[in-house]
Amino acid sequence: MRTDKKERTGIELGVMKNRIFNVLFISVFTAMLGLGIVSPLMPIYAESLGATGIWLGIIFAGFSISRGIFMPVIGRISDRKGRKKFILSGLFLYTIISIAYIQAASVYTLTFIRIIHGFASAMVIPIAMAYVGEISPEGEEGKYMGTFTVSLFLGMGFGPFIGGVLEDSFGMATAFYAMASLSALSLSICFLFLPEIDRFKARHKPRASFREILRNRVFKAVMLFRGINAFGRATLLSFLPVFASKMLTSSQIGAILATNILLTAFLQRPFGILADRYNRLLMIVLGMALASLSLILIPLLNTFPQFFLVAVILGLGGGLAMPAASAIVVTAGRNAGQGSTMGIFNTAMSMGMIAAPLVSGVIMDVFGISKVFYFAGLISFVGMLLFSMIADWS
């Protein structure tokens, strides 16, 4: 009798975990598709409002500063209070903000909207990742996180291409309306179908402090990777459209960004499975090396096939590194709390995304846009060396 009850409980929990995973995967894909649609258009939109290189940096950094401040705090609270309410609140703000972008009349207004958008983002992606980390079986962190991360990259991968086509065909405003519609759809899916996992787990597990989390050498190295990786990706998203706009159409730029991100997406699950079997730190180092090479090559490109090839190399680097890093963070989160570790992990990403547009904006204004990519490649290479020194390889 007890065995039957235990089996029923196990089956119920398994079904609930699958439901959580599927709902989050669909919802995050939908939300990220909306964000991806406007990503290649945001620099051009900002320039149409009078943004210089430094203002491009400020506009993009505003999002990441806000996101970086709130992610650890919200993640920590979600470990105690549950996660669904934060995801719903963030998606609701996404929907409202998407419409607000169209009303921006100056770089100041656009910057303010980006700051609010960053706050909303702190309640969605990191908390969804913590949700998935919570239901990942021990020894399969790479598989689960790699599979889930496909939703992020697929959304961001298909989005730029769709955004380029919408802008070419119907104008800039259509892209923002599309983002609003997709955010509202994601909100509806989560509201109707996402259960709160807290009812299936102990509420009062011991949690490590932020200071204790950061004492772990491997976790510190992974944070460095996340920041450096974000620096390169933010440079690419912020300045590649400006650099390539004189050589390529909006649709071609969107296709290049889509190629990079979609290849990374398709590699997440297979490389996530590899990360459960082989050295995760080595996979991260190889990914950083490919990223560095790709960024340094960008100023030498002038045709669509050349841009396409470099996008493939960069996508391979992301496919190698990201699932390995996420798996390490989930493992650390078993003791410290998934919301806390995912919050810190994604704050490191925000730090890179804050630094990249600000530093790169100054470099663009002073030295020219081609030097932006040389600098980002150098940062990635130095970051790879530091990662190798900090990480505990024993």
CA distance 47 to 32: 23
Question: Token match 């919408």: residue?
Answer: 166
CA distance 249 to 247: 7
The answer to whether the beta carbons of residues 391 and 314 sit under 8 Å apart is no
**Residue 204, pLDDT above cutoff 50:** no
Average pLDDT over every residue of 156-172 = 80
> Phi and psi (nearest 5°) for 125?
-65, -50
Average pLDDT over every residue of 239-262 = 82
> Which one-letter amino acid corresponds to residue 83?
R
188-202, 240-254, 337-351, range with the lowest pLDDT: 188-202
Cα 146 from chain centroid (whole Å)? 13
Neighbours of 168 (CB within 10 A): 12
pLDDT band for 380, please (50, 70, 90 cuts). Answer: very high
Residue-by-residue DSSP string for 307-365? HHHHHHHHHHHHHHHHHHHHHHHHHHHHHH-HHHHHHHHHHHHHHHHHHHHHHHHHHHH
Helix count (H) and strand count (E) of the chain? Answer: 15, 0
Q: What is the DSSP-derived secondary structure letter of residue 136?
A: P
Q: What is the DSSP-derived secondary structure letter of residue 268?
A: H
The answer to whether the beta carbons of residues 301 and 270 sit under 8 Å apart is no
Dihedral angle computed from the Cα positions of residues 377, 378, 380 and 382, in that order, rounded to the nearest 10 degrees: 170
Domain boundaries, the chain: 2-194+208-390
What pLDDT, on the 0 to 100 scale, is given for residue 207? 59
CA distance 99 to 361: 27
CA distance 332 to 222: 11
pLDDT, greater one: 323 or 3 = 323
Question: Which stretches does DSSP call E strand in 4-114?
Answer: none
14-23, 217-226, 297-306, 313-322, range with the lowest pLDDT: 14-23
The answer to whether the beta carbons of residues 278 and 252 sit under 8 Å apart is no
Per-residue pLDDT of 95-131, as tens digits, reads 999 899 988 888 889 999 989 998 998 888 888 888 8
What pLDDT, on the 0 to 100 scale, is given for residue 332? 80
SS3 201: coil
pLDDT band for 199, please (50, 70, 90 cuts). Answer: very low
**Residue 200, pLDDT above cutoff 50:** no
Q: How far is CA 285 from CA 136, 214, 222, 267, 378, in A?
A: 24, 20, 10, 16, 15
pLDDT band for 285, please (50, 70, 90 cuts). Answer: very high
What pLDDT, on the 0 to 100 scale, is given for residue 13? 66
**Residue 209, pLDDT above cutoff 70:** no
Q: Is 328 exposed, middle or buried (0-12, 13-18, 19+ CB in 10 A)?
A: buried
**0.75 surpassed by pTM:** yes
Quick one: tokens of 199?
A: 């009812």
The answer to whether the beta carbons of residues 167 and 176 sit under 8 Å apart is no
CA distance 211 to 214: 5
Return the percentage of the chain with pLDDT > 90, whole number. Answer: 27
Residue of 221, 226, 300, 290 lying closest to 260 (CA atoms):
290
CA distance 142 to 173: 39
Quick one: tokens of 92?
A: 């609701």
Question: Token match 């997406």: residue?
Answer: 265
Superfamily of structural domain 2-194+208-390: MFS general substrate transporter like domains (1.20.1250.20)
